[in-house]
Structure 1
């Protein structure tokens, strides 16, 4: 199976898994960790161009699980995390990973945050090594084994 087909199938499976847990994914820690993850993946290369920001924002607002939260609140949080990362990527990444790590108290939320990162990373059909690397780091922040997600 070509890589792109496998990636698309994997993200569809993850989206289905997320939908099945939608009612369990309503905490503030999950909301914040999800937006931090989206920003981290978008800024994985140290830069977020306007088209990438727009594409990620569209994915956030169209994601059924994230509709548990007001879209304008998610957008503001996403933009705040992106600002931290673009101001000083290394320092911002430490702060963002700390916020992602707050979701580790609930294993279902922690896994959902990683799945959202993978969905965001694969949205353009190219889940590159840099994006995989930041999602892998988020796994460690959440006390999850990256191999569980084929990272």
Structure 2
């Protein structure tokens, strides 16, 4: 094996490790984003295709989350939805616990609130039930809902 080949393999392994480390670091943000998405999408009792598409577009366009595959994102989202459908109280507790992990990161918390508002508005109607959930999420993240005109 030549030195160049060895160096190339080393760089490849280092890149793979960096990607895995980034996934681990951002797993809490992914879970918080999917928890918030599930809560806001379920607020009016049903999940529209527009809400799902908006969530996927957000993940794909977010640098810190683009390292996750679409199937990882959908699985995390579906896990929260399934918990909410099985038992609303336990599902909400799990979702708010995931969101609470972002409370100490004000920048991430604000991004999450903007994301859930965009998802709620994606079907053309940001109704009172969705606004109520958005306010509760903002408060869970230690953000003043008034910052987002909620």
Q: Shorter-chain TM-score category? A: 0.7 to 0.9
Structure 2 unaligned regions, length at least 5: 1-24
Structure of higher CA gyration radius: 2
Instruction: Show structure 1 runs of 4+ deviating over 6 A.
Output: none
Q: Deviations over 1:66-114 (max 9, x none)?
A: 5342211010000000011111223311221111111112110011111
What does 1:13-24 align with in structure 2 at a 5 Å threshold? none
User: In structure 2, what is the equivalent of residue 75 of structure 1?
Assistant: 74
Alignment RMSD: 1.6
> Residue 57 of structure 1: which of 46, 52, 55 is its match?
52
User: In structure 1, what is the equivalent of residue 124 of structure 2?
Assistant: 125
Name the SS of the counterpart of 1:55 in structure 2: helix
Q: Residues of 1 paired with 2:51 and 2:79: CA distance?
A: 14
Q: Residues of 1 paired with 2:101 and 2:40: CA distance?
A: 18
Structure-1-length-normalised TM-score = 0.74
Q: How many residues align?
A: 122
